[in-house]
Amino acid sequence: MNTKFIVHDLFSGLKQWLRSKGTVFWTLMFPILLILIFGAIFSGVGDVEIPIVVQNLDVDDETGFTEGFIDNLSHVSALDIKTLKKGEDVDEYMKDEDISGALIIPEGFGKNLRDYINPAYPFNESDLPFNLTFIADPTDQSSVSILRSIIVGIIYESNLQITGGEKVIGVEEESSLGEEFEYIDFFVPGIIGLTIMTSMVYGSIERNTKYRKDGILRKLLTMPVTRAEWILSKMLFMLVLSFISTFVILIVGVLAWGLTVKIGIFFFVLIISTSFLFSGMGMIIGRFVKEEETADMAGGAITFPMMFLAGTFFPLDQMPEFLQAVAQVLPLYYVNEGLRNAMIYANLDKTLYFSAFVIVFAVVFFIIGVLLTKWKED
């Protein structure tokens, strides 16, 4: 074994690494960002209280069963109960307050339990079980699964107390959106936004840093083409790639998981705007970072936090409030929410709202990126 060569090559590599201040900076900064982001997201997870709406339609109950069931709910430390009066719109309240689950106690719930237990009252066995209604927001699977487990557990304990275990109280689940959606329907728009972001940012960085390093940008000065024409041609190429990757994701989603999406004019507006937005961001990064290796690491340091903080994989309400505030200044957050409302919720008002932010971000970042892109070396 040539130990001398190994030691010499090791120190040579370290010296070369240390000479690149940008590479040293991002090599150290990336893991720091990683631990700070995930530490902030998941710190205090055990102390979280999940809000749930409880609407009691059995307000005239005099048996005490309904009140006892609600009291059992109130003693669960993981629940933050929001009481809603009879006649108020549960779906609207959940949407306005951003709450993922609601439990509705039907009218006559207490009387039915009394009639079942007391032989003095007439009872029809076909009425079993006495179902509560659990309304779930399918976009927030993490909170919904916890709420579902808690409700099922309380119902089980109530059945034990009342009948010794026979299932007289049950639960039926409904979607807060009024349609049957699965998690994949809400996950895919986030993946589309993430895919476009990474391909546009890294594509712009690689093109600008590589062309500058190889002297191609300088040579373009001698060609009968303007900078605007060159940038537009590259942007159209990247835009085509964005649509190709988007439709590949949708086709696989439809064939593999039976994905249900709605494709309209705002879908195309968002894809085009997102492509320009992150291309501009990539041009800005590529302008200030000279080396290809350093540029890739800088791009990762920008895109990686957005990947996890912008609601791509899990809802914002699972994060601390200060991170939720951070997420709402990230461009990818508005892309994700815009695509979800355009493709899944079919909510025109929110689609317009989020699309407006995406378009503004796209105009600002792209114009800055174009202005900062130079063909001459500094």
Which of 80-84, 281-285, 296-300, 373-377 shows the lowest mean pLDDT across its residues? 373-377
Q: In this predicted model, which residue has the larger pLDDT, 230 or 276? A: 276
Q: Could you give the CA distance from residue 311 to residue 375 in angstroms, rounded to a whole number? A: 37
**pLDDT, tens digit (0-9, with 9 covering 90-100), for 5-33:** 566 656 666 676 667 665 566 566 655 65
Q: Which residue has the higher pLDDT, 116 or 40?
A: 116
Higher local confidence (pLDDT), 294 or 241: 241
First to last CA, the chain: 46
Residue 75: its pLDDT value, please?
Answer: 84
pLDDT at 177 over 70: no
Specify the pLDDT at position 356. Answer: 95
The pLDDT of residue 234 is 76
pLDDT category of residue 269 using cuts at 50, 70 and 90: very high
pLDDT of residue 361: 94
Q: Tell me phi and psi for residue 19, to 5 degrees.
A: -70, -30
What amino acid occupies position 276? F
Which of the four pLDDT bands, split at 50, 70 and 90, describes residue 45?
very low
Q: What is the longest distance spanned by two Cα atoms in the chain?
A: 100
**pLDDT score for 219:** 65
pLDDT at residue 10, as a whole number: 62
**How far apart (Å, rounded) are the C-alpha atoms in residues 244 and 349?**
28
Average pLDDT estimate for 112-138: 76
115-119: average pLDDT:
75
Q: Average of pLDDT values for 33-40?
A: 56
Q: Does 295 or 76 have the greater pLDDT score?
A: 76
Task: Give whichever of 144-153, 319-328, 346-355 has the largest mean pLDDT.
Answer: 346-355
Tens-place pLDDT, residues 87-111? 888 888 887 887 888 899 888 888 8
Q: What is the mean pLDDT of residues 170-175?
A: 83
What pLDDT score was predicted for residue 35?
Answer: 57
**Sign of the Cα pseudo-torsion (84, 88, 89, 95, in order):** negative
Q: Tell me the domains of the chain and their CATH numbers.
A: 45-175 (3.40.1710.10), 183-372 (no CATH)
pLDDT band, residue 270 (cuts 50/70/90): very high
- At 335 the pLDDT is 94
In this prediction, residue 299 has a pLDDT band, given cuts at 50, 70 and 90, of: confident
Structure tokens at 9: 């090559």
pLDDT band (50, 70, 90) for residue 288: confident
pLDDT surpassing 90 at residue 274:
yes
Model confidence, pTM: 0.65
Around 25, how many Cα atoms within 13 Å sit in the side-chain half-sphere?
11
pLDDT for position 331: 93
Confidence check: pLDDT of 225 > 60:
yes
What pLDDT score was predicted for residue 136?
85
Asked if residue 129 has a cis previous peptide bond (ω within 30° of 0), the answer is yes
CB atoms within 10 A of CB 319: 21
Work out the average pLDDT over 198-225: 71
